Amino acid sequence: MPEPILKFPVTCPDCALESLAEMPIALIANALLTGKSLRLHSNCHDHYWTATFAEREQIRSALSEIRVDMPTATHRSHAERAHKSDSVLVGSL
């Protein structure tokens, strides 16, 4: 089973163009909990940078808005669970 991914908008520091970034939720949560850096990427300039405090807080806020439904075997079949998407898309930063 693929690990859940958080998709979120990032703003390129070179041209201010907004693009969609994605990262495993576990990686984000670990970095936020332990104080490790989060590396962001913009597609327009293939630019990588370390998330600023404001960007980290926006990602933290996006994580707090995720609603997780725990399926139960009595209510859903395996086929129904398999069709559920493993990524989460959040609004603009």
Segments of 1-93 assigned E as strands: 5-11, 18-24, 39-42, 47-50, 87-89
Give per-residue pLDDT as tens, 39-55.
999 989 999 999 999 99
Give per-residue pLDDT as tens, 26-82.
999 999 999 999 999 998 999 999 999 999 999 999 998 887 666 665 555 555 555
Q: What is the pTM of this model?
A: 0.69
- Domain coordinates of the chain in residue numbers? 5-89
Contact 70, 62 (CB under 8 A): no
d(CA 40, CA 66): 20
Task: Mark out the alpha helices in 35-87 (DSSP H runs).
Answer: 53-64, 78-82
Q: How many CB atoms lie within 10 A of CB 81?
A: 11
Amino acid at 92: S
